[in-house]
Chains A and B, each alone.
Chain A
Amino acid sequence: MKKAIALVLVAALSALTACSNNAKDSKGAQEGSTAEEIPTIVWQYPTPGNLGSGFQEVEDAFNAMLEKDVGARVKFEPVGLSESTKKASLAVASGEPLDIMLTAFTSLGPSVDSGMIVPLDDLLEQQGKDIKEQAGVLLDGAKYDSKTYGVPPVYIKGNTYGYLARTDLLQKYNITIDPEKKYTMDDLDEIFAKVKAGEGKDFYTTIPWNTTQDPLNNSYIEYDKVTGSLAAGVLMLNRGFDDTTVSNLFATDEYATYVNKMYDWAKKGYISSDAAITKQSPDSLLATKKYLGMFYWNDRLSASSKSAASGIEFTGIPMIEPYVSNNGGQGIMWNITSSSQHPEKAMEVLNYIYKNKDAAWLLQFGLEGKSYKVLEQTDEGTSIEFMDPDTSKLPYYQGYGIYGNRLQWPVVSPEPINKNKVLKEDDDNIPQSRYSPALGYSFKQASVSSEIAAVSTVIEQYTPAFNSGALEPSKSLPEFLNALKSAGIDKIIQENQKQLDEWKQSNGK
């Protein structure tokens, strides 16, 4: 009996290793035959882990386009969104092939400082004309030490924030929203008071945002997180778009007003007492109907698209005039690794998904007729529908919107077909006077990295509690500011200011 098991085991093991070795060999042979004329670019592919059955087909289709137009092939390397940087660093360190990596929601600094990625300015000049043309000022958000290191997907550049409120409740309490007006916290206070009085206990007026440190999820005031982190100070744009003084946001009067308001709201029962720690997604909280709404991104169409996605009718309440800021760069961008053998080709491939929108559509939505079908095509755009409303059943589905120029994509029904046009129009209408003066600036943090690490932990400790009104400001705010000070926030801000001033001088601003 035992021997039988052992035999089976050995057989299974050797079969497995043989399989994987074969796979490797055939792959090697394939690369070998084409490598001379056509280089293969290895490209990270963010995915939750389950590649659809049609993945290979899409890659082949994309390669057919690339071979013809660029003279290169790609090999996608699937990777989790949160692991892309770590896996890239391992690949670069051990000399595995990897040409294009993804930076998602982390700062560029460590990747640049550790020599993982290369500057792209020359490559953009030579092979990336379409990227430069379409991304424009967005490329400023991919800079570090005055050099460009990343290529972001193109989308609107403006920040437009506000509050999304349930339309049925607004109507119930006879509240009308003026879409031209910019509502302040006090205006909202009045609305909240009315609704809360009517709905009573166990009803809250705003879902908590404990995943973001920004007051009201950015809807409170305009500021530019020039380094991407509140730890290194902000430009208070609400005071003026030409002011280049780096301030500690938490030490401002605006922040004090804000935390007092939150404390007040929590006392009045507008904010749930579990707000600081709940791990429920905002959408699932809204679905319980125990909330009036949330502070959220609020362009002209976001209320309607949120309504379509959630099945609850929302009205957008604008709070901040759209503005353009640096905010420490783009959330998502592509970088070329220092171990890449073909950086020029890699850039050409990247450029291709901006140049040829069919290529971007292919990678983003899969093959027409297999993953999606076109409903309508007009001058204003294209409207499509997925072949199966349950996207996990599609042969190919890329849940993250990352390829090429998002404003040239089709829109997924039921969103209005002219969505992209409207967004672009609004975006282009943002006046230069509402552009942050620090666009293109980036902060080299190496000299203060231990202070940043320490300050980050202090911010992490206090902001979720302040944001949900769980701390009494008169006692806790001074405590918070002291902790920030002793962790070295002043030194960071000073350094930031110094670098910003130098950058201003050398750029003639």
Chain B
Amino acid sequence: MKTSESRITQIVAHVFCGLIALCAILPFLLLIISSFTSESWATEHGYSFFPQKFSLEAYKYIAVQWDTIGKAYLMTLIVTFAGTVVSVSITALFAYGISQNHIPGMKVVNFLMIFTMLFNGGLVATYYMYVHYLDFKDTIWALLIPNLLMNAFNVILVKNYMSYSIPGALKEAATIDGASEFKIFARIIMPLSLPIIATIGLMTGLAYWNDWQNGLYYLSGRDGASLYTIQIILNNINENIQVLLQNASQAQAIGANVAELPSTTIRMAIATIGILPILVLYPFFQRYFVKGITLGGVKE
């Protein structure tokens, strides 16, 4: 009885998850295949899972910039890693603080934080702050700090987890034992919060990995070019194609030639290049989901 029920559960779960995974992977396959399809064939017949003409022209176009791209990958790794570590630390500390809403002032701080999800000063004011007052232009801080370092959504997730999923008794016991707040945070709260920390770590990592806007605004093309991350370069190529296509009817006016670019397959290649490394790094985060399960079983 019991085994058959659990077998049914397994079958149902595999079928459902498998279907959704299939929906996710088919377009991704199409993306990769498209990036190897000849542009002219694709224009004529549309993208296909079985193109009759393969081509490396898109990758060749990108490969011209390969030395820049290699450096940019390294920069992306550094920024993503440093950004995620710092961001997760700040977020966890902040969330732990405001989760203790019996402490005077924490409710206000909590509200102030949620308020930032709704209102923002806009690009001009933010830019003024970071460039005029803090002189972040063309420094690595520009890639790490503006808009990405701490986000209210992640704080709320962590705070909720700390309030609902960690037994309050654990903390009380530690307090009575005379453990300091920092010790409680480091020895009890953090280990128990690993699943959510891994989650926001993943989200923050993705945000840093995919960000190009900070680069666009805070790095100039010259002094900042040595700090370009992969997404900044890919976005530049994308934007350039976009503008030329949009103004194809006026291309005459600026003497630009649109025909030179295998425009759509390049974008597919760009996306492939941007996504593949994430797939390689992703399992790193998954470890912690499993850990959470065993630690969640600690007896109160």
Interface residues of A (CB under 8 A from B): 9, 12-13, 16-17, 19-21, 23-24, 27, 45, 47-51, 76-83, 87, 89-90, 93-96, 104-105, 155, 209, 211-212, 214, 217-218, 279-285, 287-288, 290, 297, 302, 309-310, 330-332, 390-393, 399-402, 406
Contacts and interface: CB of A to CB of B under 8 A. Distances in A.
Nearest to A13: B82
Interface residues of B, number: 59
B239 A80 contact: yes
Contacts of A21: 139
B260 A391 contact: yes
A93 B128 contact: yes
A209 B81 CA distance: 45
A24 B141 CA distance: 14
A83 B227 CA distance: 19
Contact of A288 (B40, B65, B245, B246): B40
Most central of A13, A209, A302 by chain B CB within 10 Å? A13
Interface stretch (B3-11, B94-102, B130-138): B130-138
A288 B222 contact: no
Interface string B220-239: 11110111000001001101
Given A90-B124, A284-B263, A47 B247 contact: no
A105 B15 CA distance: 52
A229 B43 CA distance: 31
Contacts of B258: 281-283
B161 interface: no
B240 interface: yes
A487 B255 CA distance: 36
A214 B223 CA distance: 41
B248 interface: yes
A80 to B, nearest CB: 5
A23 B272 CA distance: 34
Contacts of A90: 123-124, 127, 131, 217
Interface string B15-31: 00000000000000000
B44 interface: yes
Nearest to B239: A80
B157 to A, nearest CB: 24
A47 B78 contact: no
Contacts of A310: 259
Contacts of A285: 43
B189 interface: no
B223 A24 contact: yes
A212 B243 contact: no
Given A83-B239, A211-B247, A47 B221 contact: yes
A90 B139 CA distance: 17
A182 B262 CA distance: 35
Given A20-B138, A45-B221, 8 more contacts: A17-B139, A20-B140, A79-B221, A297-B252, A310-B259, A331-B253, A331-B254, A406-B255
A96 B218 CA distance: 12
B131 A96 contact: yes
B239 A20 contact: no
Contacts of A406: 255
B257 A399 contact: yes
A104 B247 CA distance: 10
Contacts of B127: 90, 93-94
13 contacts: A13-B78, A13-B140, A17-B141, A23-B226, A45-B221, A48-B237, A49-B239, A50-B233, A214-B249, A282-B248, A288-B43, A392-B61, A393-B64
A161 B130 CA distance: 48
B216 interface: yes
B106 interface: no
A48 B44 CA distance: 27
The 8 closest A-B pairs by CB, nearest first: A78-B221, A401-B255, A49-B236, A48-B240, A283-B259, A288-B44, A212-B249, A331-B253
B39 interface: yes
B68 interface: yes
B256 A399 contact: yes
A159 to B, nearest CB: 10
B254 A20 contact: no
Contacts of A19: 226
A415 B246 CA distance: 26
Contact of A281 (B138, B245, B250, B254): B245
A95 B256 contact: no
B199 interface: no
A49 B39 CA distance: 23
Contact of A77 (B220, B254, B255): B220
B210 interface: no
Interface in B29-80: 39-40, 43-44, 61, 64-65, 68, 78
A346 to B, nearest CB: 19
B264 A280 contact: yes
B286 interface: no
B252 A281 contact: no
Nearest to A392: B64
A402 B259 CA distance: 19
Contacts of B245: 211, 279, 281
Contact of A16 (B78, B124, B259): B78
